[in-house]
Amino acid sequence: MNFCSFHHESMVWQQKARLRIDSESDDGPFQVLICWQCEDAACAAACPVEAIILDQQTGAWVVQEDICVGCGECVTACPYGAMYLDETRGVSIKCDLCQGAPECALLCPTKAISLERVI
Amino acid sequence: MFAYKGFAGKWLYVDLTTSKIEVCSSEPHIAEAYLGGSGFGTRLLWEKVSPQTDALSPENFLIFSAGPLCGTLLPNSSRIAVIAKSPLSGVYGDSNSGGFWGPELKLAGWDAVVVVGKSPKPVYLSIQDDHAVLCDASGLWGLTTSETERAIRSEQKDAKIKVAAIGPAGENLVRFAGIQFTPQRSAARVGMGAVMGSKRLKAVAVRGHGPVRVADAKRFHQLSVSFHQRLHQNPIYEAVTRYGTPGITSIMNALGRFPTRNFQLGSFPESERIDAEALERRAFVRHLACFNCPVGCDKLFRVPDGDMAGLALRSVEYENVNALGGGIWNGDLDQLLYLNRICDEMGMDVISAGRAISFAMELWENEILNLDDTGGIPIRWGDVAITARLLVMIAKREGFGALLGEGVKRAAEKIGRGAEEFAMHVKGVEIPGQDGRAQKSMGLAHATSSRGADHLKAFPTIDETNQPDDALRRYGEAYLPEMANPLETRYKPFLIKDGEDFCAVVDAVGVCKSGGTNVFTEFYWEDIAEAVEFATGMEMPVERLKEIGERICNLQRCYNVLHGITRTDDRLPRRFLLEANPSGNARGSTIDLEPMLDEYYDLRGWERVTGYPGKEILLKLGLEDAWQRLCVFRKASESMI
């Protein structure tokens, strides 16, 4: 979460992380809420202004912030809880795989997060 | 906007007597001279809490202080320092916790929370980003630490609130009561929880949604990634990650450095029943980590069956295994975990509580205590049922427990009959899980630490095991082989002076000593200097950082001198000086403290006879005001003679 927000915002700002760690208790078990870059992306389908576009090179669905209207339809549509609204900028934010080299996967000490191409 | 990044730039001043909350601006010259964390706290205590102030009076300050690196991207940037005059030692006190509370305070936009006065009724402080309010805690008074955390989260309908809470021990002013921080981490030592209880402050609950900014994002990011990589490549990374601090239990037994039976022995014959491997086999559930930590030395344990079936807890550290295991002659792991749980829930320091019990057990063995003294309770070695009962009695200040809750020094003075011989403390603070006879540098560290007997103020790790690699990397060939040998005294005064200065900085920036600086011996002056420079934007050559460390140590010392501390207080119990440690590699060893002290004072620029800081060093560090107060103090104390 911290490296994620730092990559995108140049500061630790957990509200702007594009992945979240969820758990019922402080002692775990922990679940990582992260974008799976779905083949049929529910977020992109739900977007009324077609602001979420597949980057062919990285395989990541990316929010075009100049097009996004901040309605939050994608947040509701995502089945993985991996779309978020950036309340200060008024746009939705999601994992863009750090342009192909996701820091979470590189730095996760337990390798609980890894990058794998499935297709 | 504050001149330096990393810092939030403001702190909260809370007067509980008047229920007034003020927002104060952080001051650049304080940040430049002391950074934050315990450095900030040291300066504030020095200025505001006079030597005449009783630690448990409303005039004492209770300072929660995060450093400029706390809550940043740097690995292990989780630490929060708590500073106050200690009710256990009566002098400078601080304690330090990992977890998530410190970073949350920074995310809420605060560097520190400073609490003074005494509330007419129990309260807790709730901080939600910019908003801070005092809430009624009458319904929380009497609850244990985890119950308090749950109740506040449920009252505020937010399960992510981070809570710093005291338990019954803090409420009842047990002199070694600690503060428990989400999630079950402790700032346990030297009675910060009792100070909190004396102010009728049950908890400080924090929730933050903002950012922590740094000055040079690109270089700070690179440095943080390189810290990650270096930790991963460190030869002990696998072991520390797997076992956490209890991992050293077996080797400390081999070295004779595992205090057993109140320091009668240096190793525990049943240590294999309670060491890290046993703990893992018996109760391991999963690895856990503090904020932003790639080491994850914390574990969740759950007892699978037997009388304690279902007992679950985390933060089971080496010190706990020692104090509640070998220390009291207990080889029953399930019971050890249960005793640990009692201390956490009651909110008291496992080290001091364990030592108070082993002190009582040794007095019983020597027939200094009898049933009349203890209210009909026999206190025999290894009796865990009695220990559990006594721990609760200490927390509630009931019967004989009330006496033990005063700490071993005061208890011994009241008991008399030679009990002092068995009170294993320095400056009133119980000695943690090391033995200065088995590691001479640690003996010196216990003697000189500003908060009384303590391993973390200098935290010498490079000469624990006689492996030369760390000593070589840090200090070079010239200091070998002695520097790496735990039984050698040569070079150790230098090691402790340098270690104290360095640890003062580590505590002032808010990173973890188990996360690379001391455990791992990976990050050192130049690494922390770079981190501070990139995070804050202050120019930070290594020499300047060293001066900050030295300044903090000297000001803590001056503060203690004003409270009557002299060389005679930089001592170790007679047992260490005259009774040989009979165990392991340390067999036959005592410690010759005085020559090391002489050299240590020389290196510090302190007077050998008194242990007072000298004029030259204080002026060099810009501590003119400290020098003047010392002169006045000296004049006054001489005129009394």
* pLDDT tens figures, B321-350: 999 999 999 999 999 999 999 999 999 999
Tokens standing for residue B576: 């260490």
Using the Cβ of B238 and the Cβ atoms of chain A, whether some distance falls under 8 Å is answered with: no
pLDDT for position B201: 98
Any domain includes A96:
yes
Section B565-570 average pLDDT: 98
Give A87 to chain B, closest Cα distance, Å.
Answer: 11
The single residue listed with the structure tokens 């989780």 is B78
Using the Cβ of A109 and the Cβ atoms of chain B, whether some distance falls under 8 Å is answered with: yes
Contact: A12, B225; criterion CB under 8 Å: no
Find which of A15, A16, A26, A110 to mutate to test the B interface (most B CBs within 10 Å of its CB): A26
> Which chain B residues are Cβ-neighbours of A17 within 8 angstroms?
none
| CATH code of A23's domain | 3.30.70.20
B-contacting residues of A 25-44, CB under 8 Å? Answer: 26-29
For B370, residues 6+ apart whose C-beta sits below 8 A from its C-beta are none
Any domain includes A52:
yes
SS3 letters across B219-284:
HHHHHHHHHHHHHHHCCCHHHHHHHCHHHHHHHHHHHCCCCECCCCECCCCCHHHCCHHHHHHHHE
Separation CA B39–CA B552 (nearest Å): 6
Give A27 to chain B, closest Cα distance, Å.
Answer: 7
Section B494-502 average pLDDT: 98
> Which chain A residues are Cβ-neighbours of B286 within 8 angstroms?
27-29
Give B293 to chain A, closest Cα distance, Å.
Answer: 9
Contact: B314, A27; criterion CB under 8 Å: yes
Section B467-483 average pLDDT: 94
Q: Which of B73, B210, B288 sits opposite A3 (nearest CB)?
A: B73
> Hey, how many other C-beta atoms are within 10 angstroms of the C-beta on A115?
14
Using the Cβ of A13 and the Cβ atoms of chain B, whether some distance falls under 8 Å is answered with: yes
Section B187-209 average pLDDT: 98
**Tell me: the pLDDT tens digits for B43-75?**
999 999 999 999 999 999 999 999 999 999 999
Contact: B217, A10; criterion CB under 8 Å: yes
> Which chain A residues are Cβ-neighbours of B228 within 8 angstroms?
107, 109
Q: Which of A13, A15, A29 sits opposite B286 (nearest CB)?
A: A29
Interface pTM (ipTM) of the complex?
0.95
**Tell me: the pLDDT tens digits for B591-635?**
999 999 999 999 999 999 999 999 999 999 999 999 999 999 999
Domain assignment of residue A80, given as a range: 2-107
Q: How confident is residue B639, by pLDDT bands cut at 50, 70 and 90?
A: confident
Q: Which of A9, A13, A27 sits opposite B288 (nearest CB)?
A: A27
pLDDT for position B641: 64
Query: Could you give the angle at the alpha carbon of B77 between the alpha carbons of B74 and B80, nearest 5°?
Result: 160
Give B154 to chain A, closest Cα distance, Å.
Answer: 13
Contact: B210, A13; criterion CB under 8 Å: yes
Separation CA B37–CA B512 (nearest Å): 12
Helix (H) or strand (E) holding B354: helix B350-365
Separation CA B294–CA B240 (nearest Å): 11
**At residue A119, does pLDDT exceed 90?**
no
Q: Which of B463, B406, B398 is nearest to B429 (CA)?
A: B406
pLDDT for position B296: 96
Strands (E), chain A: 20-22, 31-33, 52-55, 60-63, 84-86, 91-93
CB B256 within 8 A of CB B324: no
Full set of structural domains in chain B with CATH = 10-207 (3.60.9.10), 235-430 (1.10.569.10), 440-521+541-640 (1.10.599.10)
End-to-end CA distance of chain A: give it in Å, rounded: 26
pLDDT for position B640: 75
Any domain includes A116:
no
**Tell me: the pLDDT tens digits for B513-526?**
999 999 999 999 99
Any domain includes A118:
no
Contact: A14, B300; criterion CB under 8 Å: no
Any domain includes A112:
no
> Which chain A residues are Cβ-neighbours of B217 within 8 angstroms?
6, 10-11
Q: How confident is residue B1, by pLDDT bands cut at 50, 70 and 90?
A: confident
Contact: A6, B300; criterion CB under 8 Å: no
Contact: B286, A28; criterion CB under 8 Å: yes
Domain count, chain A: 1
List for chain B the helix, strand, coil content (%; round to 5).
45, 15, 40
Q: Which of B93, B95, B131 is nearest to B110 (CA)?
A: B131
Section B235-241 average pLDDT: 96
**At residue B200, does pLDDT exceed 70?**
yes
Any domain includes A114:
no
Give A15 to chain B, closest Cα distance, Å.
Answer: 6
Bond preceding residue B183 cis, omega within 30 of 0: yes
For chain B, percent of residues with pLDDT exceeding 70: 100
For chain A, the average pLDDT equals 95
Any domain includes A97:
yes
Q: Which of A12, A15, A28 sits opposite B209 (nearest CB)?
A: A15
